[in-house]
Structure 1
Protein backbone atom coordinates (compact mmCIF):
# COMPACT_ATOMS: atom_id res chain seq x y z
CA UNK A 1 0.00 0.00 0.00
CA UNK A 2 1.27 3.46 -0.89
CA UNK A 3 1.58 5.54 2.25
CA UNK A 4 0.03 9.02 1.90
CA UNK A 5 0.51 10.06 5.51
CA UNK A 6 3.07 12.73 4.75
CA UNK A 7 2.01 13.55 1.18
CA UNK A 8 0.41 16.88 0.40
CA UNK A 9 -0.77 17.30 3.97
CA UNK A 10 -2.88 14.13 4.15
CA UNK A 11 -2.78 12.10 7.39
CA UNK A 12 -3.87 8.50 7.78
CA UNK A 13 -6.71 8.03 10.27
CA UNK A 14 -8.20 4.58 9.63
CA UNK A 15 -7.79 1.36 7.66
CA UNK A 16 -10.50 -1.19 7.05
CA UNK A 17 -10.18 -4.53 5.26
CA UNK A 18 -9.98 -2.82 1.88
CA UNK A 19 -10.12 0.97 2.28
CA UNK A 20 -7.88 3.55 3.94
CA UNK A 21 -9.10 6.95 5.13
CA UNK A 22 -7.09 10.16 5.30
CA UNK A 23 -7.87 13.64 6.55
CA UNK A 24 -6.34 17.05 5.91
CA UNK A 25 -5.93 19.54 8.78
CA UNK A 26 -6.69 22.50 6.50
CA UNK A 27 -9.88 20.87 5.13
CA UNK A 28 -11.70 19.31 8.10
CA UNK A 29 -14.96 18.84 6.17
CA UNK A 30 -13.29 16.54 3.63
CA UNK A 31 -11.76 13.06 3.62
CA UNK A 32 -9.74 11.02 1.16
CA UNK A 33 -11.02 7.46 0.66
CA UNK A 34 -8.42 5.17 -0.91
CA UNK A 35 -9.33 1.71 -2.21
CA UNK A 36 -6.42 -0.71 -1.83
CA UNK A 37 -5.70 -3.91 -3.75
CA UNK A 38 -6.35 -5.92 -0.58
CA UNK A 39 -8.92 -8.70 -0.84
CA UNK A 40 -10.88 -10.16 2.07
CA UNK A 41 -13.01 -13.25 2.53
CA UNK A 42 -14.52 -14.90 5.59
CA UNK A 43 -13.49 -11.85 7.67
CA UNK A 44 -9.78 -12.22 6.82
CA UNK A 45 -7.54 -10.05 4.67
CA UNK A 46 -5.77 -12.39 2.28
CA UNK A 47 -2.37 -12.47 0.65
CA UNK A 48 -1.53 -11.49 -1.98
CA UNK A 49 -3.85 -8.72 -3.08
CA UNK A 50 -5.52 -8.46 -6.47
CA UNK A 51 -3.46 -6.19 -8.76
CA UNK A 52 -5.41 -3.16 -9.96
CA UNK A 53 -8.44 -3.95 -7.81
CA UNK A 54 -8.48 -0.63 -5.96
CA UNK A 55 -8.49 1.37 -9.18
CA UNK A 56 -11.26 -0.79 -10.66
CA UNK A 57 -13.47 -0.43 -7.57
CA UNK A 58 -12.98 3.34 -7.61
CA UNK A 59 -13.71 3.59 -11.33
CA UNK A 60 -16.92 1.61 -10.94
CA UNK A 61 -18.11 3.60 -7.94
CA UNK A 62 -17.55 6.87 -9.79
CA UNK A 63 -19.36 5.47 -12.85
CA UNK A 64 -22.40 4.57 -10.77
CA UNK A 65 -22.42 7.90 -8.91
CA UNK A 66 -22.62 9.63 -12.29
CA UNK A 67 -25.73 7.63 -13.21
CA UNK A 68 -27.71 7.76 -9.98
CA UNK A 69 -29.80 10.84 -9.32
CA UNK A 70 -29.30 10.76 -5.55
CA UNK A 71 -27.01 12.90 -3.38
CA UNK A 72 -23.57 11.34 -2.93
CA UNK A 73 -20.49 12.24 -0.92
CA UNK A 74 -18.09 13.15 -3.75
CA UNK A 75 -16.59 16.59 -3.12
CA UNK A 76 -16.82 19.26 -5.79
CA UNK A 77 -16.12 22.97 -6.08
CA UNK A 78 -13.17 25.31 -5.89
CA UNK A 79 -10.24 25.30 -3.48
CA UNK A 80 -10.16 21.53 -2.98
CA UNK A 81 -6.94 19.97 -1.67
CA UNK A 82 -4.78 18.09 -4.16
CA UNK A 83 -4.95 14.30 -4.25
CA UNK A 84 -1.52 12.60 -4.26
CA UNK A 85 -0.81 11.62 -7.86
CA UNK A 86 0.18 8.07 -6.94
CA UNK A 87 -3.28 7.53 -5.38
CA UNK A 88 -5.40 9.39 -7.91
CA UNK A 89 -6.75 6.34 -9.77
CA UNK A 90 -7.98 4.68 -6.57
CA UNK A 91 -8.92 7.65 -4.41
CA UNK A 92 -12.12 9.64 -3.93
CA UNK A 93 -12.17 13.07 -2.34
CA UNK A 94 -15.39 13.11 -0.34
CA UNK A 95 -17.37 15.25 2.05
CA UNK A 96 -17.34 14.11 5.67
CA UNK A 97 -20.75 12.78 6.71
CA UNK A 98 -22.44 11.64 9.90
CA UNK A 99 -22.55 7.96 8.96
CA UNK A 100 -25.59 5.90 9.89
CA UNK A 101 -25.07 2.52 11.63
CA UNK A 102 -27.21 0.62 9.09
CA UNK A 103 -25.89 -1.45 6.20
CA UNK A 104 -28.66 -1.34 3.61
CA UNK A 105 -28.79 -4.72 1.87
CA UNK A 106 -31.11 -5.33 -1.08
CA UNK A 107 -31.58 -8.83 -2.49
CA UNK A 108 -33.11 -9.41 -5.91
CA UNK A 109 -32.26 -13.11 -6.09
CA UNK A 110 -32.11 -15.94 -3.58
CA UNK A 111 -28.50 -16.95 -2.97
CA UNK A 112 -25.62 -16.80 -0.48
CA UNK A 113 -26.56 -16.53 3.18
CA UNK A 114 -30.18 -15.94 2.15
CA UNK A 115 -30.28 -19.32 0.42
CA UNK A 116 -28.80 -21.02 3.50
CA UNK A 117 -31.47 -19.50 5.74
CA UNK A 118 -34.24 -20.31 3.27
CA UNK A 119 -33.23 -23.98 3.24
CA UNK A 120 -33.42 -24.07 7.02
CA UNK A 121 -36.57 -22.03 7.66
CA UNK A 122 -38.18 -20.85 4.43
CA UNK A 123 -37.23 -17.25 5.24
CA UNK A 124 -34.57 -14.66 4.40
CA UNK A 125 -33.67 -12.45 7.35
CA UNK A 126 -36.92 -13.59 8.94
CA UNK A 127 -39.06 -12.65 5.91
CA UNK A 128 -41.20 -15.63 4.74
CA UNK A 129 -40.80 -16.64 1.09
CA UNK A 130 -42.79 -18.98 -1.17
CA UNK A 131 -41.89 -22.65 -1.03
CA UNK A 132 -40.05 -24.43 -3.80
CA UNK A 133 -37.47 -21.77 -4.64
CA UNK A 134 -34.01 -22.83 -5.83
CA UNK A 135 -30.57 -21.35 -5.25
CA UNK A 136 -30.29 -18.43 -7.66
CA UNK A 137 -34.01 -17.94 -8.27
CA UNK A 138 -35.28 -14.42 -8.74
CA UNK A 139 -37.31 -13.27 -5.74
CA UNK A 140 -40.95 -12.23 -6.23
CA UNK A 141 -39.79 -8.70 -5.42
CA UNK A 142 -36.50 -7.27 -4.11
CA UNK A 143 -36.08 -7.62 -0.36
CA UNK A 144 -34.66 -4.92 1.89
CA UNK A 145 -32.76 -6.69 4.67
CA UNK A 146 -30.82 -4.19 6.81
CA UNK A 147 -27.88 -5.05 9.01
CA UNK A 148 -26.34 -3.32 12.00
CA UNK A 149 -22.76 -2.30 11.24
CA UNK A 150 -20.67 -3.98 13.90
CA UNK A 151 -17.42 -2.54 15.29
CA UNK A 152 -14.22 -3.40 13.44
CA UNK A 153 -13.38 -7.08 13.79
CA UNK A 154 -16.92 -8.17 14.59
CA UNK A 155 -19.66 -9.56 12.33
CA UNK A 156 -22.44 -7.33 11.06
CA UNK A 157 -25.81 -8.34 12.51
CA UNK A 158 -28.88 -8.86 10.34
CA UNK A 159 -31.75 -6.89 11.85
CA UNK A 160 -35.43 -6.30 11.18
CA UNK A 161 -36.81 -3.08 9.81
CA UNK A 162 -38.36 -2.52 13.23
CA UNK A 163 -34.92 -2.74 14.84
CA UNK A 164 -33.58 -0.20 12.33
CA UNK A 165 -36.38 2.12 13.45
CA UNK A 166 -35.15 1.77 17.03
CA UNK A 167 -31.62 2.66 15.89
CA UNK A 168 -32.29 5.68 13.66
CA UNK A 169 -35.98 6.58 14.03
CA UNK A 170 -38.97 5.83 11.82
CA UNK A 171 -38.49 8.64 9.30
CA UNK A 172 -34.82 7.91 8.70
CA UNK A 173 -35.31 4.13 8.61
CA UNK A 174 -38.07 4.57 6.03
CA UNK A 175 -35.83 6.86 3.98
CA UNK A 176 -33.04 4.28 4.02
CA UNK A 177 -35.35 1.48 2.91
CA UNK A 178 -37.05 3.47 0.17
CA UNK A 179 -33.80 4.95 -1.17
CA UNK A 180 -32.09 1.55 -1.21
CA UNK A 181 -34.92 -0.14 -3.11
CA UNK A 182 -35.15 2.74 -5.59
CA UNK A 183 -31.39 2.74 -6.28
CA UNK A 184 -31.44 -1.04 -6.67
CA UNK A 185 -34.26 -0.81 -9.22
CA UNK A 186 -32.43 1.85 -11.23
CA UNK A 187 -29.11 0.01 -11.13
CA UNK A 188 -30.73 -3.31 -12.04
CA UNK A 189 -32.26 -1.76 -15.15
CA UNK A 190 -28.96 -0.16 -16.19
CA UNK A 191 -27.05 -3.41 -15.67
CA UNK A 192 -29.67 -5.45 -17.56
CA UNK A 193 -29.21 -3.21 -20.60
CA UNK A 194 -25.59 -4.39 -20.61
CA UNK A 195 -26.34 -8.08 -20.22
CA UNK A 196 -25.63 -8.23 -16.49
CA UNK A 197 -27.92 -9.20 -13.60
CA UNK A 198 -27.58 -7.39 -10.27
CA UNK A 199 -28.33 -10.19 -7.81
CA UNK A 200 -27.82 -8.25 -4.58
CA UNK A 201 -25.91 -5.33 -3.15
CA UNK A 202 -25.39 -3.23 -0.05
CA UNK A 203 -25.40 0.52 0.42
CA UNK A 204 -24.13 2.81 3.14
CA UNK A 205 -25.55 6.25 3.85
CA UNK A 206 -24.71 9.23 5.98
CA UNK A 207 -26.29 12.59 6.58
CA UNK A 208 -24.87 15.96 5.70
CA UNK A 209 -23.87 17.50 9.06
CA UNK A 210 -25.20 20.91 7.97
CA UNK A 211 -28.40 20.08 6.09
CA UNK A 212 -29.27 16.61 7.37
CA UNK A 213 -29.77 15.39 3.78
CA UNK A 214 -29.48 11.63 3.35
CA UNK A 215 -26.36 10.98 1.25
CA UNK A 216 -25.04 7.88 -0.49
CA UNK A 217 -21.49 7.09 0.63
CA UNK A 218 -18.59 4.67 0.44
CA UNK A 219 -18.28 2.23 -2.48
CA UNK A 220 -21.43 1.83 -4.56
CA UNK A 221 -22.48 -1.17 -6.65
CA UNK A 222 -18.95 -2.52 -6.99
CA UNK A 223 -17.97 -6.15 -7.42
CA UNK A 224 -16.90 -6.13 -3.74
CA UNK A 225 -20.27 -4.92 -2.45
CA UNK A 226 -22.54 -6.66 -4.97
CA UNK A 227 -23.19 -9.88 -6.83
CA UNK A 228 -23.36 -9.54 -10.60
CA UNK A 229 -24.18 -12.44 -12.93
CA UNK A 230 -23.92 -12.89 -16.69
CA UNK A 231 -27.52 -12.63 -17.96
CA UNK A 232 -26.96 -14.95 -20.92
CA UNK A 233 -25.48 -17.72 -18.77
CA UNK A 234 -28.28 -17.29 -16.24
CA UNK A 235 -30.94 -17.60 -18.94
CA UNK A 236 -29.27 -20.71 -20.35
CA UNK A 237 -29.30 -22.43 -16.97
CA UNK A 238 -26.79 -25.10 -16.07
CA UNK A 239 -24.06 -25.22 -13.42
CA UNK A 240 -22.52 -21.87 -14.40
CA UNK A 241 -25.69 -19.79 -14.46
CA UNK A 242 -24.62 -17.88 -11.32
CA UNK A 243 -21.00 -17.26 -12.36
CA UNK A 244 -20.17 -14.05 -10.50
CA UNK A 245 -18.15 -11.00 -11.55
CA UNK A 246 -16.53 -10.75 -8.14
CA UNK A 247 -14.32 -12.55 -5.64
CA UNK A 248 -16.44 -15.71 -5.56
CA UNK A 249 -13.44 -17.48 -7.13
CA UNK A 250 -11.46 -16.60 -3.99
CA UNK A 251 -14.25 -17.75 -1.65
CA UNK A 252 -14.63 -21.06 -3.49
CA UNK A 253 -10.88 -21.74 -3.44
CA UNK A 254 -10.62 -20.92 0.26
CA UNK A 255 -13.62 -23.09 1.12
CA UNK A 256 -11.90 -26.02 -0.58
CA UNK A 257 -8.44 -25.44 0.90
CA UNK A 258 -8.99 -23.97 4.39
CA UNK A 259 -11.05 -25.04 7.40
CA UNK A 260 -11.50 -21.43 8.63
CA UNK A 261 -9.21 -21.89 11.62
CA UNK A 262 -5.92 -20.08 12.00
CA UNK A 263 -4.52 -17.91 9.23
CA UNK A 264 -5.78 -18.56 5.70
CA UNK A 265 -3.31 -19.84 3.09
CA UNK A 266 -1.82 -17.57 0.44
CA UNK A 267 -3.79 -17.39 -2.79
CA UNK A 268 -2.19 -19.17 -5.76
CA UNK A 269 -1.21 -16.97 -8.74
CA UNK A 270 -3.88 -18.49 -10.99
CA UNK A 271 -6.64 -17.64 -8.48
CA UNK A 272 -5.35 -14.06 -8.23
CA UNK A 273 -5.30 -13.64 -12.01
CA UNK A 274 -8.72 -15.23 -12.58
CA UNK A 275 -10.22 -12.94 -9.93
CA UNK A 276 -8.57 -9.86 -11.44
CA UNK A 277 -9.91 -10.85 -14.85
CA UNK A 278 -13.48 -11.05 -13.51
CA UNK A 279 -13.18 -7.56 -11.99
CA UNK A 280 -11.90 -6.22 -15.31
CA UNK A 281 -14.64 -7.99 -17.29
CA UNK A 282 -17.37 -6.37 -15.19
CA UNK A 283 -15.88 -2.93 -15.82
CA UNK A 284 -15.79 -3.68 -19.55
CA UNK A 285 -19.38 -4.91 -19.54
CA UNK A 286 -20.86 -1.99 -17.62
CA UNK A 287 -18.73 0.99 -18.57
CA UNK A 288 -18.05 0.41 -22.27
Structure 2
Protein backbone atom coordinates (compact mmCIF):
# COMPACT_ATOMS: atom_id res chain seq x y z
CA UNK A 1 0.00 0.00 0.00
CA UNK A 2 1.52 3.27 -1.10
CA UNK A 3 1.54 6.33 1.09
CA UNK A 4 0.39 9.71 -0.14
CA UNK A 5 3.18 12.25 -0.19
CA UNK A 6 2.76 15.95 0.35
CA UNK A 7 3.71 17.78 -2.86
CA UNK A 8 6.95 19.70 -2.56
CA UNK A 9 6.71 23.46 -2.95
CA UNK A 10 9.45 25.01 -5.05
CA UNK A 11 11.86 27.05 -2.94
CA UNK A 12 13.18 30.34 -4.28
CA UNK A 13 15.69 31.62 -5.24
CA UNK A 14 15.74 28.54 -7.46
CA UNK A 15 19.27 27.17 -7.78
CA UNK A 16 20.78 23.94 -8.99
CA UNK A 17 18.93 21.17 -10.81
CA UNK A 18 15.20 21.36 -11.37
CA UNK A 19 12.95 18.85 -9.59
CA UNK A 20 12.14 15.72 -11.56
CA UNK A 21 8.39 15.78 -10.84
CA UNK A 22 6.18 16.47 -13.83
CA UNK A 23 3.85 18.66 -11.78
CA UNK A 24 5.40 21.39 -9.63
CA UNK A 25 3.76 23.56 -6.99
CA UNK A 26 4.56 27.26 -6.69
CA UNK A 27 3.14 29.96 -4.42
CA UNK A 28 1.89 33.44 -5.13
CA UNK A 29 4.07 34.76 -2.28
CA UNK A 30 7.11 33.68 -4.32
CA UNK A 31 6.11 34.54 -7.89
CA UNK A 32 3.47 37.27 -8.19
CA UNK A 33 4.84 40.32 -10.00
CA UNK A 34 8.37 38.98 -10.40
CA UNK A 35 10.65 39.58 -13.37
CA UNK A 36 14.33 39.18 -14.24
CA UNK A 37 15.91 35.82 -13.34
CA UNK A 38 12.91 34.37 -11.53
CA UNK A 39 10.46 35.05 -14.33
CA UNK A 40 12.89 33.55 -16.84
CA UNK A 41 13.22 30.42 -14.71
CA UNK A 42 9.46 30.06 -14.43
CA UNK A 43 8.96 30.55 -18.16
CA UNK A 44 11.56 27.86 -18.85
CA UNK A 45 10.01 25.51 -16.30
CA UNK A 46 6.55 25.79 -17.79
CA UNK A 47 7.89 24.62 -21.16
CA UNK A 48 8.59 21.18 -19.70
CA UNK A 49 6.57 21.04 -16.46
CA UNK A 50 3.02 21.63 -15.34
CA UNK A 51 2.75 24.32 -12.67
CA UNK A 52 0.09 24.58 -10.00
CA UNK A 53 -0.14 27.99 -8.37
CA UNK A 54 -1.14 28.09 -4.72
CA UNK A 55 -2.56 31.40 -3.50
CA UNK A 56 -2.63 32.93 -0.03
CA UNK A 57 -4.84 35.97 -0.42
CA UNK A 58 -5.84 35.83 3.24
CA UNK A 59 -2.20 36.26 4.28
CA UNK A 60 -1.58 39.40 2.19
CA UNK A 61 -1.56 42.61 4.27
CA UNK A 62 -4.60 44.80 3.60
CA UNK A 63 -2.35 47.77 2.78
CA UNK A 64 -1.08 46.07 -0.39
CA UNK A 65 -3.97 43.72 -1.16
CA UNK A 66 -5.33 45.70 -4.13
CA UNK A 67 -1.85 45.96 -5.66
CA UNK A 68 -1.35 42.23 -5.10
CA UNK A 69 -4.60 41.40 -6.92
CA UNK A 70 -3.61 43.52 -9.94
CA UNK A 71 -0.13 41.95 -10.02
CA UNK A 72 -1.63 38.47 -9.71
CA UNK A 73 -3.77 39.05 -12.81
CA UNK A 74 -0.75 40.33 -14.75
CA UNK A 75 1.34 37.37 -13.62
CA UNK A 76 -1.32 34.87 -14.74
CA UNK A 77 -1.12 36.29 -18.26
CA UNK A 78 2.41 34.91 -18.71
CA UNK A 79 2.63 32.21 -16.06
CA UNK A 80 -0.31 30.12 -17.36
CA UNK A 81 -0.45 27.55 -14.54
CA UNK A 82 -2.24 24.23 -14.98
CA UNK A 83 -4.56 25.41 -12.25
CA UNK A 84 -4.79 27.85 -9.36
CA UNK A 85 -5.84 26.69 -5.92
CA UNK A 86 -5.92 27.94 -2.35
CA UNK A 87 -2.66 27.09 -0.62
CA UNK A 88 -2.30 25.09 2.56
CA UNK A 89 -1.32 26.87 5.77
CA UNK A 90 2.34 27.70 6.37
CA UNK A 91 4.34 29.07 9.28
CA UNK A 92 5.38 32.59 8.26
CA UNK A 93 8.32 32.83 10.68
CA UNK A 94 9.73 29.43 9.71
CA UNK A 95 9.43 30.37 6.04
CA UNK A 96 11.33 33.59 6.68
CA UNK A 97 14.04 31.83 8.69
CA UNK A 98 14.59 29.41 5.81
CA UNK A 99 14.60 32.29 3.34
CA UNK A 100 17.20 34.13 5.42
CA UNK A 101 19.53 31.14 4.99
CA UNK A 102 18.98 31.07 1.23
CA UNK A 103 19.33 34.82 0.65
CA UNK A 104 22.21 35.50 3.03
CA UNK A 105 24.35 32.33 3.27
CA UNK A 106 27.65 34.21 3.62
CA UNK A 107 26.17 36.73 6.04
CA UNK A 108 24.81 33.89 8.15
CA UNK A 109 28.20 32.21 8.08
CA UNK A 110 29.88 35.46 9.15
CA UNK A 111 27.42 35.95 12.02
CA UNK A 112 28.19 32.48 13.33
CA UNK A 113 26.44 31.66 16.61
CA UNK A 114 24.58 34.99 16.62
CA UNK A 115 22.86 34.38 13.26
CA UNK A 116 19.70 32.81 14.69
CA UNK A 117 19.27 35.62 17.23
CA UNK A 118 19.85 38.36 14.60
CA UNK A 119 17.31 36.73 12.28
CA UNK A 120 14.78 36.42 15.11
CA UNK A 121 15.25 40.03 16.19
CA UNK A 122 14.79 41.32 12.64
CA UNK A 123 11.60 39.32 12.15
CA UNK A 124 10.23 40.56 15.47
CA UNK A 125 10.92 44.20 14.60
CA UNK A 126 9.74 44.26 10.98
CA UNK A 127 6.07 44.40 10.08
CA UNK A 128 4.90 42.26 7.15
CA UNK A 129 4.04 44.79 4.42
CA UNK A 130 4.34 43.01 1.06
CA UNK A 131 2.95 40.04 -0.81
CA UNK A 132 6.37 38.55 -1.70
CA UNK A 133 8.11 36.75 1.14
CA UNK A 134 11.51 37.87 -0.13
CA UNK A 135 10.57 41.55 0.07
CA UNK A 136 10.45 41.23 3.86
CA UNK A 137 14.28 41.37 3.88
CA UNK A 138 14.66 44.68 2.09
CA UNK A 139 15.58 46.53 5.31
CA UNK A 140 17.93 43.88 6.64
CA UNK A 141 21.19 45.48 5.47
CA UNK A 142 20.39 48.72 7.28
CA UNK A 143 19.24 46.77 10.33
CA UNK A 144 22.50 44.80 10.40
CA UNK A 145 24.70 47.88 9.99
CA UNK A 146 22.85 49.53 12.86
CA UNK A 147 23.36 46.51 15.11
CA UNK A 148 27.03 46.04 14.19
CA UNK A 149 28.30 49.50 13.13
CA UNK A 150 31.96 48.59 13.63
CA UNK A 151 31.81 45.45 11.49
CA UNK A 152 32.05 47.01 8.04
CA UNK A 153 32.95 43.75 6.31
CA UNK A 154 29.80 42.10 7.65
CA UNK A 155 27.60 44.95 6.41
CA UNK A 156 29.22 44.86 2.99
CA UNK A 157 28.71 41.09 2.70
CA UNK A 158 25.02 41.49 3.51
CA UNK A 159 24.67 44.35 1.01
CA UNK A 160 26.43 42.24 -1.65
CA UNK A 161 24.02 39.33 -1.13
CA UNK A 162 20.87 41.48 -0.91
CA UNK A 163 21.59 43.41 -4.11
CA UNK A 164 21.77 40.16 -6.06
CA UNK A 165 18.62 38.84 -4.40
CA UNK A 166 16.79 42.10 -5.16
CA UNK A 167 17.78 42.13 -8.83
CA UNK A 168 16.83 38.47 -9.17
CA UNK A 169 13.10 39.23 -8.86
CA UNK A 170 12.56 42.80 -10.11
CA UNK A 171 10.41 43.34 -13.25
CA UNK A 172 12.81 45.62 -15.10
CA UNK A 173 11.76 47.15 -18.39
CA UNK A 174 14.72 46.60 -20.72
CA UNK A 175 12.92 47.23 -24.00
CA UNK A 176 11.81 50.47 -25.57
CA UNK A 177 15.20 52.18 -25.50
CA UNK A 178 15.63 55.01 -28.00
CA UNK A 179 17.67 54.02 -31.06
CA UNK A 180 21.14 55.51 -30.98
CA UNK A 181 20.83 56.64 -27.36
CA UNK A 182 22.99 54.97 -24.71
CA UNK A 183 21.23 54.06 -21.48
CA UNK A 184 22.29 52.65 -18.15
CA UNK A 185 20.82 49.21 -17.54
CA UNK A 186 17.75 49.99 -15.36
CA UNK A 187 18.65 47.11 -13.05
CA UNK A 188 22.05 48.61 -12.15
CA UNK A 189 22.93 48.44 -8.46
CA UNK A 190 26.35 49.10 -6.95
CA UNK A 191 28.12 47.81 -3.85
CA UNK A 192 31.21 49.52 -2.45
CA UNK A 193 33.78 47.41 -0.65
CA UNK A 194 35.93 49.68 1.50
CA UNK A 195 38.68 47.08 1.92
CA UNK A 196 39.60 43.59 0.81
CA UNK A 197 36.66 41.40 1.84
CA UNK A 198 37.88 38.04 3.10
CA UNK A 199 34.38 36.50 3.00
CA UNK A 200 33.64 37.55 -0.58
CA UNK A 201 37.26 37.22 -1.67
CA UNK A 202 37.01 40.56 -3.47
CA UNK A 203 39.32 43.57 -3.48
CA UNK A 204 38.12 47.00 -2.41
CA UNK A 205 36.30 49.02 -5.03
CA UNK A 206 32.90 49.71 -6.57
CA UNK A 207 31.09 46.69 -8.01
CA UNK A 208 28.21 46.91 -10.46
CA UNK A 209 25.43 44.32 -10.58
CA UNK A 210 22.90 44.13 -13.41
CA UNK A 211 20.34 41.76 -14.84
CA UNK A 212 21.52 40.54 -18.22
CA UNK A 213 18.48 40.04 -20.45
CA UNK A 214 20.54 38.16 -23.03
CA UNK A 215 21.88 35.65 -20.49
CA UNK A 216 19.04 35.80 -17.93
CA UNK A 217 21.47 36.05 -15.03
CA UNK A 218 22.69 38.68 -12.57
CA UNK A 219 26.13 39.83 -13.70
CA UNK A 220 28.87 41.40 -11.61
CA UNK A 221 31.59 43.83 -12.72
CA UNK A 222 34.20 45.76 -10.76
CA UNK A 223 34.21 49.33 -12.08
CA UNK A 224 37.37 51.33 -12.62
CA UNK A 225 37.34 55.13 -12.30
CA UNK A 226 36.78 55.60 -16.02
CA UNK A 227 33.79 53.26 -16.18
CA UNK A 228 32.34 54.92 -13.10
CA UNK A 229 32.73 58.32 -14.82
CA UNK A 230 30.85 57.06 -17.88
CA UNK A 231 27.99 55.86 -15.70
CA UNK A 232 27.91 59.20 -13.86
CA UNK A 233 27.63 61.02 -17.19
CA UNK A 234 24.78 58.77 -18.29
CA UNK A 235 22.93 59.51 -15.06
CA UNK A 236 22.88 63.21 -15.92
CA UNK A 237 19.66 64.73 -17.18
CA UNK A 238 20.54 64.53 -20.87
CA UNK A 239 20.79 61.96 -23.63
CA UNK A 240 24.01 60.76 -25.25
CA UNK A 241 24.82 58.99 -28.46
CA UNK A 242 27.95 56.88 -28.32
CA UNK A 243 30.02 59.58 -30.01
CA UNK A 244 28.66 62.28 -27.70
CA UNK A 245 29.42 60.17 -24.62
CA UNK A 246 33.01 59.59 -25.71
CA UNK A 247 33.42 63.27 -26.48
CA UNK A 248 32.07 64.34 -23.09
CA UNK A 249 34.15 61.73 -21.25
CA UNK A 250 37.28 62.97 -23.01
CA UNK A 251 36.66 66.41 -21.45
CA UNK A 252 36.34 65.04 -17.92
CA UNK A 253 38.93 65.65 -15.24
CA UNK A 254 39.65 61.97 -14.55
CA UNK A 255 43.40 61.39 -14.21
CA UNK A 256 45.38 60.11 -15.95
CA UNK A 257 43.41 61.14 -19.05
CA UNK A 258 42.40 58.70 -21.77
CA UNK A 259 42.35 59.15 -25.53
CA UNK A 260 38.99 58.99 -27.35
CA UNK A 261 39.91 55.51 -28.58
CA UNK A 262 40.55 54.37 -25.01
CA UNK A 263 37.20 55.81 -23.91
CA UNK A 264 35.61 53.90 -26.79
CA UNK A 265 37.09 50.71 -25.35
CA UNK A 266 35.65 51.50 -21.93
CA UNK A 267 32.20 52.04 -23.44
CA UNK A 268 32.43 48.70 -25.24
CA UNK A 269 33.49 46.93 -22.05
CA UNK A 270 30.48 48.28 -20.16
CA UNK A 271 28.18 47.29 -22.99
CA UNK A 272 29.66 43.79 -23.18
CA UNK A 273 28.98 43.44 -19.44
CA UNK A 274 25.37 44.66 -19.89
CA UNK A 275 26.01 47.58 -17.54
CA UNK A 276 24.97 49.97 -20.29
CA UNK A 277 22.71 49.41 -23.28
CA UNK A 278 23.76 50.73 -26.69
Q: TM-score range by the shorter chain?
A: under 0.3
Relative contact order, CA 8 A, sep 6+: which one is greater?
A: 1
Task: Give the TM-score normalised by the residue count of structure 1.
Answer: 0.26
Task: Give the TM-score normalised by the residue count of structure 2.
Answer: 0.26
Q: Which has the larger radius of gyration?
A: 2
* Bigger fraction of residues in helix: 2
* Bigger fraction of residues in strand: 1
